[in-house]
Structure 1
Amino acid sequence: MASRLLQAASRRGQGMSLYPLVPGIFKRGESSLSHSVNNPVLPTTVQEYSKSSTGLCKVTTLPNGIRVASENTPGHFSAVGVYVDAGSRYETSDTRGVSHILDRLAFKSTANKSADEIVGEVESLGGNIMCSSSRESIMYQSAIFSQDLERAISLFSDVICRPNIDPLEVEEQRQTALYEIEEIWSKPEMILPEILHTVAYENNTLGNPLLCPPENLERMTPELIRSYMKTWYRPERMVITACGAEHEKVVELAVKHFGQGPTAYEIATEPARYTGGSHMMDVPDLPLTHVYIAFEGLSIDDKDIYALATLQILLGGGGSFSAGGPGKGMYSRLFTNVLNQHYWVESCQAFNHCYTDSGLFGIAGSCRPEYTNALVEVMCRELDSIGRSDGNNQRVTDAELSRAKNQLKSSLLMNLESRMVQLEDLGRQVQVHGKKTGIDEMLERIDRVDLEELRRVASRVVRGAVGVTSGGSGKATIVLQGDMRGLKDVSKMVEKYGLGS
């Protein structure tokens, strides 16, 4: 499977996501329809996305290596985006935080327009236009009126290929980023998933922070930003996608605005290396203690990823004041076994982060400080039970599995009703795989998940066996924030249930 779509569907909106080429890398081309998909110079693949959909997924590779993907599904609006294979995992100790600053600089002055003119252009389009950075991608996206397709692609070309990276604009964004960092650090539900990554992948790739470390802000000079962009904003690392537009027109505009540049070249990238570990943050005046227990999960290419996404839905969970009701997860295991049984649990929910070569799977919970040891015990018990096939009365049942699979499938289909979700799903799948996995295939693979497979995959993850093939440590990743008085050894509680390697 291939996309963030399955991950987004499986977490049902839970978790956190903090999701301009160097002047001279590209020159505006003069080509037009002579560069069509019928031209053998531009190889194009066509695939049926779904038997129930009228749109076909088409992918064309331009001579400079940029891939252009589209789905011409009907609707009043179009969506267009540019996806760059960059992000925090590619940063070094010298460039750590540059992706965060880059997405803040996205719609500033360019070689052709002032910052005010860029803002005026964005507002005149009247759509939803944004840039966001993640660990494995920097995404420029827009939802627009269909007749404004060329204006949007031209705007993206300008801000991506010809940014000024003006010193005054950089300084302004450094100050704004500092305020943003302080704001996020004050909210445990936003910063703890970040800390979880830094502990799970200590000093490498996926452990690099999404937020620029405050001590690195002064390093974020125009020269450093241009150097980073020159390294990673390469045409072969870019995908231009459109939904609700004719493919030939999108290719024509891509050639016109992005079509020239160097040919592809090889970049060696460091694979993610899961380390695991523990990090305890003693904050005595915090009203709640927050607990995260995670294990190395699966990459988006892993054959077991559909079973793991189903498992996350099956565990489910939420907050103590979550709006329950049919179809809202009220029968998930963490609601039934934890939130409904223990009044002192404020929140308890499963999470699943998947990336190109690794992932994180686990449970996050919170409670008043005096119940922290009990919460850790409850979380370990639930993680232990999902991989059991013995006579334990907590093992997963057929009814739970069927309910989770139906919820995952419906969430996938409902997510795809959004133009922006459809756009990002297409862009990221083509970026990572060079093609799109059709929704019919996704649904079929979810249907094939049975109890034996679910238990095997659950055991593979929570017992630390993913490391056998990934090279990871297999250890649990444990992060706690709050009042640590009276806290027992959490690592020993995890080991007691046979979790981790």
Structure 2
Amino acid sequence: MLRSVTARIARRVAVPTTTIPANRRSFSSPVPTRDPAELDRITTLSNGLRVATEAIPGHFAAVGVYIDAGSRYETERLCGCSHLVDRLAFKSTSSRSSDNMLEALESLGGSVSCASSRESIMYQSAVFNKDVATMAGLLAETIRDPLITDLEVSQQLETAAYEIQEIWVKPQLILPEVLHSAAYMGNTLGNPLVCPEDRLDKINKSLIDEYRRLFFRPDRMVFALAGVEHDTAVKLAEKLFGDMKPSPAPSSTTPPGILSKIPFVNHPPGDTIDVKKPAHFTGGVITLPHSSLPTHLPLFTQMYVAFEGLPIGDPDVYALATLQTLLGGGGSFSAGGPGKGMYSRLYTNVLNQYQWIESAVAFSHAYSDSGIFGIAASCHPSAASALPNVILKELAYTFQRSGIYSLSKDEVQRAKNQLKSSLLMNLESKMVVLEDLGRQVQTQGRNVTAVEMGREIDKLTVEDVRRVAERVLTGKVRNMGAGTGKAAIVVQADNDQVASMGDLQQRVKAHGLGRY
């Protein structure tokens, strides 16, 4: 019922992610111009909780609560708590046992999940329309009134220990985590999403309770509903969350829009946590050996190369998403073959040209104030020394202004069409619509419609995509955290293979990438 850490990470890295949230309306029919506030349908309660709705017709509705918490806000003391809070969802409360909670959820016949990310803890569900109030009540109960017994914490710590071992033997799951550590060394988005193994014996009920008191506040929550009328949703939110107390007011000396200081619970007076500290992209290189745990999977040399990308609210996010689609990629098993139509650059220029490369895929992660953009690749260990050059050339080609590798109008148009198609296909799931609604309101304060996004994508030119490629890949991004402009690189291989790659930062610089 609840997604494991393995499952939720796999969902994020199994296919290239896009920096644009999924949309909700078809591009095929014109939509009259309306006030953005009317489109968003957002109401803020007196305690700061935001209620966001999308009244989509149908037999099912989706309900979720999105909390502004997650691993980026964790201090050294709280490290790993987001992972455990996720796992402790839908257990016992003051009014029902864990078994009774499970029975109540199963009786509704829908789906329910809880997942933690770097910037959010998400409680989500889908049920028949008639059961919306009941399911919302169960969400409110597990969020506001969990018992979190010592036994429950102990059981979830055991589960987490198993998950950690499982993740470390699968490069596609653990290397994106290591990449974030290289990109944001020692700060915010570089904090581990998965609880570190050495933290398992330090997390207990009192620490979980402290984490919840710090972050589970109404002004840090979005109550989102897809398929429910707005007025009905507001009344439901007032009933379930209206009596919650908001966070203490920020310090009068706190710069607006940068830091929001919240006092710790049970700590000395004046002890605070900066819950809005900007993400500082440091860049750096991390090399690690293959896992020593037994596995049936073949051992390839793995390499991730990334640069600071764009936050979700940046106007160039549409061009960057188009660039990611244009690069595309995947595994060698699907490369080539008649009729497959795989025209992305990483297929045509890399996977179809170099038999020793096992996979190559462009990826993008977008956050509220920063992002990561790059390519993940793997190859036969004997060819490790040649892999960096192939990948770095493909990145440099994207902003080349002349020659056979410069961007063409046809491939940019193909990528734009593919991006719009992918966005709209995602909207066939109300759970996707729900998460899009909740996360956009949480990060941007409003929900951007598919019509708006489609217009922005349609306006893009070859020069726009080329300009954004140069902006990101040459370290010209200037986000709030004032990143260094250097590349973040992760390599998993034996020592001799790592040595054969040479100085990776110098190789990045030699290709005209990054800012050095």
- Shorter-normalised TM range: 0.7 to 0.9
Q: In the TM superposition, what whole-angstrom CA distance separates every residue of 1:202-237 from its partner, at most 9, and x where no partner exists? A: 010000011001111122111111111111111011
Cα distance in structure 1, aligned partners of 2:11 and 2:414: 14
Deviation of the 1:287 alpha carbon: 2.2
Cα distance in structure 1, aligned partners of 2:435 and 2:382: 43
Mean alpha-carbon deviation: is it higher for 309-318 or for 455-464? Answer: 455-464
Structure 1 counterpart of 2:15: 13
Assess if the C-alpha contact under 8 Å between 2:25 and 2:424 holds in 1.
no
Deviation of the 1:371 alpha carbon: 0.9
Structure 2 counterpart of 1:498: 512
Mean alpha-carbon deviation: is it higher for 49-58 or for 449-458? Answer: 49-58
Alignment map for 1:290-369 (pairs within 5 Å):
290-322=302-334, 330-369=342-381
Structure 1 counterpart of 2:143: 160
Deviation of the 1:9 alpha carbon: 13
Structure 2 counterpart of 1:129: 112
Structure 2 counterpart of 1:432: 443
Q: Answer yes or no: is 1:404 the counterpart of 2:415.
A: yes
RMSD, aligned α-carbons: 2.5
Letter in 1 for 2:102: V
Distance 1:407 1:125, change over 3 A: same
Distance 1:131 1:469, change over 3 A: closer
Structure 2 counterpart of 1:230: 213
Deviation of the 1:482 alpha carbon: 1.7
Cα distance in structure 2, aligned partners of 1:132 and 1:289: 30
Q: In the TM superposition, what whole-angstrom CA distance separates every residue of 1:39-91 from its partner, at most 9, and x where no partner exists? A: xxxxxxxx999866899541111111111111111112110000000000000
**What is the DSSP-based 3-state SS (H/G/I as helix, E as strand, rest coil) of the residue aligned with 1:365?**
strand
Structure 1 counterpart of 2:425: 414
**What is the DSSP-based 3-state SS (H/G/I as helix, E as strand, rest coil) of the residue aligned with 2:364?**
strand
Assess if the C-alpha contact under 8 Å between 1:351 and 1:361 holds in 2.
yes
Letter in 2 for 1:412: L
Letter in 2 for 1:418: S
Assess if the C-alpha contact under 8 Å between 2:278 and 2:481 holds in 1.
no
Cα distance in structure 2, aligned partners of 1:196 and 1:327: 35
Structure 2 counterpart of 1:3: none
Assess if the C-alpha contact under 8 Å between 1:294 and 1:363 holds in 2.
yes
Cα distance in structure 2, aligned partners of 1:9 and 1:114: 31
Mean alpha-carbon deviation: is it higher for 401-410 or for 241-250? Answer: 241-250
Structure 2 counterpart of 1:26: none
**What is the DSSP-based 3-state SS (H/G/I as helix, E as strand, rest coil) of the residue aligned with 2:234?**
helix
Deviation of the 1:373 alpha carbon: 1.7
**What is the DSSP-based 3-state SS (H/G/I as helix, E as strand, rest coil) of the residue aligned with 2:362?**
strand
TM-score, structure 2 normalization = 0.85
Cα distance in structure 2, aligned partners of 1:91 and 1:77: 36
Cα distance in structure 2, aligned partners of 1:199 and 1:327: 39
Tell me which of 478, 482, 496 is aligned to 2:489. Answer: 478
Cα distance in structure 2, aligned partners of 1:468 and 1:176: 38
Q: In the TM superposition, what whole-angstrom CA distance separates every residue of 1:358-402 from its partner, at most 9, and x where no partner exists? A: 00000000011111121211001000100111x232111101100
Alignment map for 1:144-293 (pairs within 5 Å):
144-263=127-246, 265-266=249-250, 267-268=260-261, 269-283=276-290, 287-293=299-305
Distance 1:314 1:291, change over 3 A: same
Q: Answer yes or no: is 1:488 the counterpart of 2:490.
A: no
Mean alpha-carbon deviation: is it higher for 99-108 or for 68-77? Answer: 68-77
Assess if the C-alpha contact under 8 Å between 1:339 and 1:347 holds in 2.
yes
Mean alpha-carbon deviation: is it higher for 295-304 or for 257-266? Answer: 257-266
Cα distance in structure 2, aligned partners of 1:302 and 1:85: 20
Cα distance in structure 2, aligned partners of 1:418 and 1:326: 31
Where does the alignment leave 5 or more consecutive residues of structure 1 unmatched?
1-7, 17-46
Assess if the C-alpha contact under 8 Å between 1:316 and 1:329 holds in 2.
no
Deviation of the 1:328 alpha carbon: 6.9
Deviation of the 1:322 alpha carbon: 2.1
Structure 1 counterpart of 2:96: 113
Aligned length: 463
Deviation of the 1:13 alpha carbon: 3.0
Q: Answer yes or no: is 1:141 the counterpart of 2:124.
A: yes
Where does the alignment leave 5 or more consecutive residues of structure 2 unmatched?
1-9, 19-23, 33-37, 251-259, 262-275, 293-297
Tell me which of 94, 104, 112 is aligned to 2:77. Answer: 94
Deviation of the 1:256 alpha carbon: 1.0
Cα distance in structure 1, aligned partners of 2:335 and 2:241: 47
Structure 2 counterpart of 1:34: none
Cα distance in structure 1, aligned partners of 2:394 and 2:42: 43
Structure 1 counterpart of 2:273: none
Assess if the C-alpha contact under 8 Å between 1:88 and 1:134 holds in 2.
yes
Deviation of the 1:432 alpha carbon: 1.4
Cα distance in structure 1, aligned partners of 2:286 and 2:13: 24
Cα distance in structure 1, aligned partners of 2:413 and 2:226: 32
Assess if the C-alpha contact under 8 Å between 1:73 and 1:243 holds in 2.
yes
Assess if the C-alpha contact under 8 Å between 2:70 and 2:116 holds in 1.
yes
Assess if the C-alpha contact under 8 Å between 2:335 and 2:351 holds in 1.
no
Distance 1:9 1:422, change over 3 A: farther
Structure 1 counterpart of 2:61: 78
Assess if the C-alpha contact under 8 Å between 1:284 and 1:483 holds in 2.
no
Letter in 1 for 2:314: D
Structure 2 counterpart of 1:466: 477
Aligned-residue sequence identity (percent) comes to 51
Distance 1:327 1:451, change over 3 A: farther
Assess if the C-alpha contact under 8 Å between 2:335 and 2:352 holds in 1.
no
Cα distance in structure 1, aligned partners of 2:382 and 2:506: 19
Deviation of the 1:483 alpha carbon: 2.5
Deviation of the 1:438 alpha carbon: 1.2
**What is the DSSP-based 3-state SS (H/G/I as helix, E as strand, rest coil) of the residue aligned with 1:321?**
helix
